[in-house]
Chains A and B, each alone.
Chain A
Amino acid sequence: MRLGPGAPRLTTANYDRAVFAVIVGLGRVGASLALRLLEEGQEVSCVDEDPDALARLEAGLGRDWVAAGGSFTVGHGLELDSLLAAGIERADVFVAATNGDNTNIVIAQIAMLRFEVPTVVARVLDPRRAEWYESQGLHTISPTRSAIDLLEAEVRAGQARAREGGT
């Protein structure tokens, strides 16, 4: 499953049942993803060490996160108790989206190797490590790499326009 901007939107219609996603880290990326999935009718369980992270979710949602069907666990992704409380054992998808690359890489490996979650993806800003871990079988998304690629495409487009204009 790709969660990038070009990925097909998930809807319950595409699946026999709702997808159960565990998302660790409720920064801009994690919280937006969690909201999008919940609004589509997926089952979403979030983990963040900051109890106030729930406020970010609810601000985006405009109502009570738990009443809307979401789950929230206060804890660190390295604590197995927090992951278990969040329901990792029955997760279809695990997303490691904390603001730390290292934390994401470690907890994604825990989800993959210890809990055998079928789909695991880690947010890794550092493009070189994202690439290397990808080659090792850990699925990574590098926002930095995406930005570089998009910016490069813009530069190429500008280059092409300049060339056309010049001839």
Chain B
Amino acid sequence: MRILVTGAGKVGWNLTRELLEKGHDVTLVEVSRERYLVVEQELERRVVYGDASELWVLERAGIAEAEIVIAVTGDDEDNLLICQVARDKYGVERIVARCNNPRNRQHFELLNIKPYVSATDLILRLIEHEVPRYGLIHLLDLPGQGLEIIEMELGEGSPVLGKRIGELEIPEGSLLISVLRDGRGFVPNAETELREGDQVLAVLDPALEPDLTRYLGATGSGQ
């Protein structure tokens, strides 16, 4: 597919590289001369120097033939307008925009620039993703690594209250990585004594989730 990417930051550069590896015909546009020269060493004629807000730069980069325009600069106004012009002036069928500041989401909606991608929103969604099954919160799933990070609260019935972490016999393959107590977080050591109301973050193999929550008598938190 003929794809035009604007903005050779980390996102734009890596995206271009991946798309090229998949066999697409990609052109990348970068406004900073310095950055352009760096990226050009790898991408050569695939990268075009210029301000993608300017119509002649887009035209030189081949927007008229592009099937997809992906605007991933660090500037939301630029991304909005590059996509607007691509769609409404050059008839590009598909547009994808990056939304850097989540507060600008409403502007992407207003101008109907969709889909837009916000890294901040994606991470927020992961954190807020609630799984009430065991009374714990999944903070991060790393399926490729077979790991996840969960948060649990130690209620009054927990059998581990008053115990030092060094004494615990938590399931092999799990690790307590942080304790939140009285609004403060810290990394515990073997001497750390667990108290009622502690919120505990653990990294573990997802299969160990039931064992660990049972052992800690976790009641869940943030629900």
- Write the residues of chain A forming the contact surface with B, with a CB cutoff of 8 angstroms: 78-80, 100-103, 105-106, 109-110, 113-114, 126, 128-129, 132, 136
- Main SS of the interface on chain B? helix
Q: Would A100 and B77 be within 8 Å (CB), given that A79-B103, A109-B111, A113-B110 are in contact?
A: yes
Q: Is the CB of A132 within 8 A of B107?
A: no
Identity of the chain A residue whose Cβ is nearest the Cβ of B106 in the assembled complex: A80
Number of interface residues of B (CB under 8 A): 19
Which residues of chain B from 87 to 123 have a CB within 8 Å of any chain A CB?
Answer: 88-89, 103-104, 106-107, 110-111
Q: Is the CB of A78 within 8 A of B110?
A: no
B21 at the interface (CB under 8 A from A): no
User: Of B3-11, B78-86, B132-140, B209-217, which stretch is located at the interface?
Assistant: B78-86
Distance of A80 Cα from B103 Cα, bound (Å): 9
Q: Is the CB of B107 within 8 A of A128?
A: no
Minimum CB–CB distance for B100 against chain A, Å: 11
Minimum CB–CB distance for B86 against chain A, Å: 12
Distance of A126 Cα from B56 Cα, bound (Å): 11
- Main SS of the interface on chain A? helix
B38 at the interface (CB under 8 A from A): no
Interchain CB contact (< 8 A) of B81 among A78, A105, A114: A105
Identity of the chain B residue whose Cβ is nearest the Cβ of A132 in the assembled complex: B89
Interchain CB contact (< 8 A) of A110 among B53, B78, B107: B107
**A-B residue pairs in contact (CB < 8 Å), sample of 10:** A102-B75, A102-B77, A102-B80, A105-B81, A106-B111, A109-B110, A114-B110, A126-B53, A129-B85, A132-B89
Q: Is the CB of A106 within 8 A of B54?
A: no
Q: Is the CB of A102 within 8 A of B111?
A: no
Q: Is the CB of A128 within 8 A of B77?
A: no
